[in-house]
Amino acid sequence: MKVRLLFSVFLVLLTSACAQLGYYGQAVHGQLSVLEQAHPIDDWVSDPAVDQRLKAKLELARQIRRFAVQQLDLPDNRSYSEYADLKRQFALWNVVATPALSLEPKQWCFPIAGCVSYRGYYSESAAQAYGAKLRQQGYDVQVAGVPAYSTLGWFSDPLLSTFIHYPDGELARLIFHELAHQKVYAKGDTQFNESFATTVEQAGVERWLAVAADPKTRQAYVEFEGRQQDFLALLLKYRQQLAATYASDASDQQKIQRKSMIFQSLKDEYQTLKARWGGYIGYDRWFAEPLSNAHLALVATYYDFVPGFQALLAQQQSFGKFYVAVAKLAAMSKEQRQRRLRELAAQNSQ
C-alpha cells in the first residue's frame, strides 16, 4: 500500500505547480497518517482493552460491508475492513467559497479528482487559515468538518472514529455512499458524482433496513430522514430567495441588505424547526460560523440529479445493470450526461 501511495505522490508532484506543493504535501501526509492508524477489525475486536460498544459497532460495520457487496453489488475490496481512531472530531475540513453576490462556488482542480467545489485540509487550523485568506479577497467562505471521504479506490478506506458511532441506519447510509464513489466517478462533475452516490445510499439503506434492522433502528432512521428532509427544504427555500435576489435589478447595496435579511430569516425558521423536532441539535454546527453564500452553494449538489438516477435504477432493475448504465453516462460530456438525467427525471414524473 505504501509503495502505491509513494508512487501516487510522485505523480502528483510531477503534475503540480510549485505553489500547490504545500497543499499537496499536507494532503499526502494527512492521508498517510490515516492509513498508518488503521488496523484490521479483528485486531480491535480481539483486544480486551477495547470498549464493547466499539466492538459491536465494528461487527455491525462488517455486516453492512458484506450486505453492500452481496445485495448492492458495491466493490468487494479491503475498504472498511480496518478501523482507525483519529482522536479528532472530523476526518478533514473542507473550504467552500463563493463571490459575495453569487451562489456559484469557486472551483479547485486536481490531477486525480478533476475540478471540485471545495478544498480539503487534514488540519482545522490550516483550513481556517486558508478560509481567512479567501475572505480577505472578498469571498464568502464556509469551513466545514467532514466525518468521511472516499479515495475513489486508490486506497483502502478505513472505518473512522469520526463516524463509527453513528446510529446504525446512518452508519449504513454513509458506507453505501462512500463505496458508490468507488464504483463510478465522473471527473470534474461533483453534482453527478454526489447525486449518484446519494441514490445508491438511499436505495441501499431502504433494502438494508427491510432485511437487517430491528423496528427500533428502522424508526430511528425514519426520524433521521424526516429531519434531513425538513432541513434540506429549509436550505433550498432560502437558497432560492438568495438566487432571485442576486439575479434581480437591485443595486449591489440593496442586494447585500436583502442577503442579510434572508440569512436572519433562515436562522429564525431553523429555531422553529428545532422546536418541532423536540430540541434536536444535530444541525447546530452548520451555524457555527456566520452564514454566507458558501453555506448554501453545494446544498443542491447531493440531490439535483437523484430523480434521474432513481428513474435509471428502476429502469435497469438491478444494481449491476444500473452501474453499467451510469458508467456510460459518466463517459459522456458533462452537458450530455446532465441533459440525459433531466430527461429521465421528466419521463419518470409523467
Domain boundaries, the chain: 2-175
At residue 21 the predicted structure's pLDDT band, cuts being 50, 70 and 90, is: confident
The continuous run of DSSP H or E covering 242 comes out as helix 215-247
User: Grid coordinates in use for 108?
Assistant: 479547485
CA distances in angstroms from 120 to 11, 90, 132, 313, listed in the order given? 19, 12, 15, 31
Q: Answer yes or no: is pLDDT of 13 > 70.
A: no
Determine the Cα–Cα distance for residues 220 and 253; give it in Å rounded to an integer: 45
pLDDT, residue 350, reads: 64
Query: pLDDT digit string (tens) for 132-160?
Result: 999 999 999 999 999 999 999 889 999 99
Q: Which residues contact 310 (CB under 8 A, 6 or more apart)?
A: 199, 202, 203, 348
The 10s digit of each residue's pLDDT in 84-103 is 999 999 999 999 999 999 99
For 33-91, the pLDDT digits (tens) are 999 999 999 999 999 999 999 999 999 999 999 999 999 999 999 999 999 999 999 99
Q: Which of 37-51, 76-90, 113-127, 314-328 has the lowest mean pLDDT?
A: 113-127
**Helix 306-316 crosses helix 319-330 at what angle (to 10 degrees)?**
130
